Structure 1
């Protein structure tokens, strides 16, 4: 949601009307950002709070109900362009088959999407449901990749025409204190991965002996009362990362692309504990570690094994210079602004496009 909302805000500020179609669970975030939200009428319900198996994720990504609802929405209220999430192949296929012009928004590494995702269990599951994910990606009028090219191995190989690295979409960066006290932010996923409470407790135990303030956020799926925080730790259900990261020295996460890019944008090294092997988290962690700006640990790591890794990343060292270098590169590529620029360029070239509820223009 954050990359799509940030690009939408840029477009709205330039006078465009932007509306969202999504799950009912998205309504609050979309409304808080000031946009219209229409809930799917027939698509499968979805909640990140319920532990989802790979089969449940497959059913959601391949849901043709999204495509039916999307085309129905466009018939009622046509749009000049549709921006579709890169994982919603049920919706993307409907756009391609109806010759509706669309842009794909990739909020992760392209190397992951076109590699392990398309060629792994989830991509194979798409094909088993008679979807054509590769064709749907290729059918987009443009593809916006909201990440840092040097971290995405996919940027180092040839791509189909239309792939555009716009840069990570991160919130505005607040001022950083001149001499902040040592502080660590520990924040795992808002999605209910199995065993996440146990993983978070291991991290808290490992951070208990650090000479640092520790801030831990549980998100909606972990009950704070199930945790035993050390004396140097404060636990919150939710704290906006944009508010706390300027005062942090280190970020610990599960390898979520958005949180990782936001941490690096603040020049912060990152410790990654991936929660799921099929998702992009291991690749995100490996890229950060490979750039020298952090480390990756197993989700089964014990507090005794985690403690020296945390202490090393909290200390001074070359990992801080590496994180600062990546941070400068991210700040030089304002993803929301660049994404809105590319969308406007496309609209200027073809201001109106055929699609449901709109006849093809005569030449």
Structure 2
């Protein structure tokens, strides 16, 4: 057993899907009696989301003391050069988002300084940080405090036999596939080494730590990297003998609200309505999904024997959409209340939404746009749990994909098998907290 209460310092930034997965883990740590402080900063991507009062409130409700990151006078992205291509003015389409992701590490010096100052003000036994905040993990290393990284995507770091992160490629088939992956991994490592590593090494130098040679080497220097995705969800090669010794897949927390039970939902259709229910839910953040949502609504209108519940979230204006007769638009409905009744779901493939659908054996139509979404979609397709389309397909293609996942039984069977395998792995927040307690017990 760990010392109780241990002093834990968390580090998170304002985002969307990252918080929905990380907050249940922090809440579990507080529930176990640990003394939990959490440093909160603004979004690290170009959306520049401010740290919201809602995030502060949810952390306080979870039992954490909230500490605000002292933001730098100049925004890190303002003083950075423009994102560059891979070779000259060209980059493969599959990797055009990699530079933007790598540039989030321009925040490393600010987080390194903030966490180092907080550790001097009030020491901690452990630092638990979002894995996209390597500066926070470097500050823990400099202070001689063990670090734990919470990864809210499948691992970014290249691994033998696993396609490079970003494009959403399926596992390689044959020599050409293996060559594709080797070239893709080299491209990914070059982009991160060029656009992310210098800022991280600047932070490490300020902390009097030696520079790193690889962009992902900071993760080798922490006690645990806890992947908030199930082992059954990730590609098998990641879990082989070559996997880092500190890497653990703990599963995806599924709670709609860490502060209490999800609110009830009353279906808007009569109980006698036997049409199949489709859930359409895109990102809660603005990711350019308005046009995609319109095409999804048009697609549903083409289908007979189907009723659709469409959750728009805070990023889309309800007044800007008109639902077909067989669809109902809502700002928010808890997924846990809808998915037990659903026959299929349409999603951009955020990890939380995918995990919730699979937990109920619901097959998916995947329409990934950015970030980890293509990677999640690839894993759904690889397990036969759904279909994937590009985010710019016309409504007719979306309607046809929906028909297939509703009619062809192998998709529901694939989703049920994968969901059952994930369920057998145990409760994710509990498993994550157990791993953290194991680190504390070894001190």
Check whether TM > 0.5. Answer: yes
TM-score under structure 2 length normalisation = 0.70
Distance 2:157 2:223 in 1: 21
- Cα distance change, pair 296–342 in 1 and its aligned pair in 2 (3 A): same
Matches within 5 A, 1:126-205: 126-131=196-201, 132=212, 133-153=215-235, 154-156=238-240, 158-171=242-255, 182-194=276-288, 196-205=289-298
Q: Quote the RMSD (CA, aligned, Å).
A: 2.9
Partner of 1:322: 414
Q: Deviations over 1:300-323 (max 9, x none)?
A: 100011111111112350111111
The one of 18, 38, 52 aligned to 1:20: 38
Gapped regions of structure 1 (runs ≥ 5) = 47-52, 351-363
Gapped regions of structure 2 (runs ≥ 5) = 1-18, 42-50, 77-82, 84-96, 167-187, 202-211
> In 2, are the aligned partners of 1:274 and 1:282 still within 8 Å (CA)?
yes
Distance 1:299 1:137 in 2: 32
SS at match of 2:368: coil
SS at match of 1:22: strand
The one of 30, 45, 49 aligned to 2:59: 30
Distance 2:75 2:403 in 1: 42
Q: Deviations over 1:179-202 (max 9, x none)?
A: 9852111111122223x1001110
**Cα shift at 1:209:** 3.0
**Cα shift at 1:220:** 1.9
- Cα distance change, pair 226–38 in 1 and its aligned pair in 2 (3 A): same
Instruction: Note if 1:83 corresponds to 2:101.
Output: no
**Cα shift at 1:90:** 2.8
Partner of 1:106: 151
SS at match of 1:99: coil
Distance 1:95 1:119 in 2: 25
Partner of 1:67: 112
> In 1, are the aligned partners of 2:36 and 2:63 still within 8 Å (CA)?
no
Distance 2:35 2:350 in 1: 30
The one of 211, 214, 218 aligned to 2:308: 214
Query: Which structure exhibits the higher relative contact order, with contacts defined as CA atoms closer than 8 Å and separated by 6 or more residues?
Result: 1
> In 1, are the aligned partners of 2:134 and 2:200 still within 8 Å (CA)?
no
Partner of 2:86: none
The one of 131, 138, 146 aligned to 1:93: 138
Partner of 1:232: 326
**Cα shift at 1:162:** 1.3
Q: Deviations over 1:276-303 (max 9, x none)?
A: 2xx2211211111111000100111000
Instruction: Note if 1:341 corresponds to 2:434.
Output: yes
SS at match of 2:144: coil
Distance 2:234 2:220 in 1: 19
**Cα shift at 1:81:** 0.8
